[in-house]
Structure 1
Amino acid sequence: MTSPTRFIPQSQLPVPVDETLPTMYDLPSDNPEEPGLPDEFHFFQPLLLRLTFLPLNWNPEFVFSAADLNLYYDVQHTQWYKRPDWFGVLGVSRLYQGQDLRLSYVTWQEKVNPTVVVELLSPGTEDEDLGETESEPDEPPTKWFVYEKILQVPYYVIFSRYTNKLQGFRLVDGEYQAMNLTDGRLLMPELGLSLGLWEGSFRKIPRLWLRWLTLNGELIPEPSEEAIAAKQEAQQAKQEAQQAKQEAQQAKQETNEAKRRAEKLAERLRQLGIDLDEVE
């Protein structure tokens, strides 16, 4: 009879675990057969982009953005798709046909292509993200080709969390041209926004984040930041009201004290036989 498998606690292993077993960096989330599967950063970073993507000259009801959502782009090859880490679209209903959450984004049904696409570099997808690969015959085209030639996305942005390098490309005469950074930001006047790096804490995670700002470089707050700011403003207003109340009470006390002194002085003058009504 075969004895049951006995698991040995790590504390009883003869050699320190951290010297024998692979680490998180040796065992990344990427699947060798499907590179670019999301890790934690690929969840939080697109979320921050989505929460701060508020084009100033657009009704929020006609602004759509998504992360890790299938983007179907070729009506002749309906099964071909790309899955951008994040993309934003202007001029479509937030909900599909104003009614339902999207299962995917199908360009021949939506009639509007993305305005901006952001790819977060991963070791398994870096070459394709940067347009350094070519598609094989009878195979789907590369991301770069799809964004530039087929969808003609006006802005294509690439960010590396490993080097903190931000690159932007703008579609000019049908081809992507590298964008210059202005004060470390990519300016997109058509959106009334800029995209830049911000060092701060998002969801209690401090690091360098990519986020949307105004053209002047002011942060566009996400909901939790708005709540904190509103709470601080309420506290400030409460403190100012309390201070005003205290000042009013102090002024009232001073008025009453002055009145008492005047009455006391008048009484003293009457005792001295001085009629205040006759005093000029």
Structure 2
Amino acid sequence: MSFQYPVPQTDPPRSPRETLPTMYDLPSEDPEEPGLPDEFHYRQPPLLSQTFQPKTYPPEQVFSAGDMNLYYDIRHFSWYKRPDWFGVVGVSKLYDDRDLRLSYVMWQEMVPPTVVVELLSPGTEREDLGRTTRLSTAPPTKWEVYEQILKVPYYIVFDRYSDRLRGFVLTAGFYQELQLAEPKIWIPQLELGLGLWAGEYEGMNRLWLRWYDGEGNWISTPAEQKAIVQEELETERRRTETERQRAETERQRAETERQRAETERERSRRLEELLRSHGIDPDL
């Protein structure tokens, strides 16, 4: 009888989600990265996130972030771009439905952003607008990543120094600039628009980027919604108090009328008694 070597057992193939770095391995913070955003870069992204409320998706399927590393190349784990702000729909608001994200890793999430916003500054303008070139061995530029790799449908840039809003829509695989009659950009698949709003936010009055709905109304932030509710409650309280005062006035008027009628009846009774005391029938 011949001896047979045992057939080696092989493990089933593992998915990229199991074998490649996750967001825990690729954090957003990088202390070696030079340069810091200015104050506008810190204040503008939260306003975008607070008003990013697409009607076409439930809130738990909407994610947005500002200044977060977005890892995009499965072959180069450390390559990333850091959009000033981006919005994603059709993905869990929480990582694996349970955790806050440290970064956005495409080979884990599998859903690219629907819209990316870059806030221009003198040091980043050329790259943000796709005007830079690179060596063949260097990582792709922002424009190349958003257009060719992630294929982000809408790429929007805003220059706060000139207050100029520009939008690019992916058409046949390439970005085409939108011709804006006014500083507003409508995104049909989100049923949302992004435009320039003049108003006070975080104690500063200037032009801000914020989202608006299909009726052209600016979407309220949670703080604004709270103020609206408080104002409605105060209006209802004043209405209730006015109604209470009106009812009290009516009650007092009725009481005064009752007392007047009672006084009149008492006067009439005494007059009748006086007439009868003099032998006069008051009914004649």
Secondary structure of 1:98's aligned partner = coil
1:101-140 alignment runs, 5 A limit: 101-140=100-139
CA distance in 1 between counterparts of 2:133 and 2:33 reads 17
Alpha-carbon deviation of 1:131? Answer: 1.3
Give CA deviations for 1:194-245 in whole Å, capped at 9, x if unaligned.
1111111111122111111112221211121122222222211111111010
Tell me, yes or no, if the aligned pair for 1:87 and 1:116 is still in contact at 8 Å.
Answer: yes
Rg larger for: 2
Alpha-carbon deviation of 1:84? Answer: 0.3
Structure 2 length-normalised TM: 0.80
Secondary structure of 1:257's aligned partner = helix
Tell me, yes or no, if the aligned pair for 1:35 and 1:125 is still in contact at 8 Å.
Answer: no
Q: How many residues align?
A: 243
**2:77 maps to what in 1?**
78
CA distance in 2 between counterparts of 1:188 and 1:216 reads 13
Deviating more after overlay: 97-106 vs 34-43: 34-43
Alpha-carbon deviation of 1:144? Answer: 1.0
CA distance in 2 between counterparts of 1:174 and 1:35 reads 32
**2:3 maps to what in 1?**
none
**1:148 maps to what in 2?**
147
CA distance in 2 between counterparts of 1:182 and 1:212 reads 17
Cα RMSD (Å) of the superposition? Answer: 2.1
**1:58 maps to what in 2?**
57
For residues 171 and 35 of structure 1, do their structure 2 counterparts lie closer, same or farther at Cα, with a shift above 3 Å needed?
Answer: farther
Alpha-carbon deviation of 1:183? Answer: 4.5
Tell me, yes or no, if the aligned pair for 1:86 and 1:118 is still in contact at 8 Å.
Answer: yes
**2:215 maps to what in 1?**
216
**1:165 maps to what in 2?**
164
For residues 182 and 251 of structure 1, do their structure 2 counterparts lie closer, same or farther at Cα, with a shift above 3 Å needed?
Answer: farther
CA distance in 2 between counterparts of 1:138 and 1:180 reads 35
Secondary structure of 2:206's aligned partner = strand
Alpha-carbon deviation of 1:35? Answer: 7.0
CA distance in 2 between counterparts of 1:35 and 1:125 reads 13
Secondary structure of 1:117's aligned partner = strand
Secondary structure of 1:69's aligned partner = coil
1:237 aligns with 2:241: no
1:195 aligns with 2:209: no
1:18-33 alignment runs, 5 A limit: none
Secondary structure of 1:119's aligned partner = strand
Secondary structure of 2:87's aligned partner = strand
Alpha-carbon deviation of 1:263? Answer: 3.4
Tell me, yes or no, if the aligned pair for 1:193 and 1:215 is still in contact at 8 Å.
Answer: yes
CA distance in 2 between counterparts of 1:210 and 1:252 reads 54
Tell me, yes or no, if the aligned pair for 1:36 and 1:124 is still in contact at 8 Å.
Answer: no
Secondary structure of 1:190's aligned partner = helix
Alpha-carbon deviation of 1:182? Answer: 5.7
Alpha-carbon deviation of 1:270? Answer: 5.3
CA distance in 1 between counterparts of 2:211 and 2:36 reads 24
Alpha-carbon deviation of 1:66? Answer: 0.8
CA distance in 2 between counterparts of 1:34 and 1:125 reads 14
**1:205 maps to what in 2?**
204
**1:29 maps to what in 2?**
none
Unpaired runs of 5+ residues, structure 2, are 1-31, 273-282
The share of aligned pairs that are identical, in percent, is 53
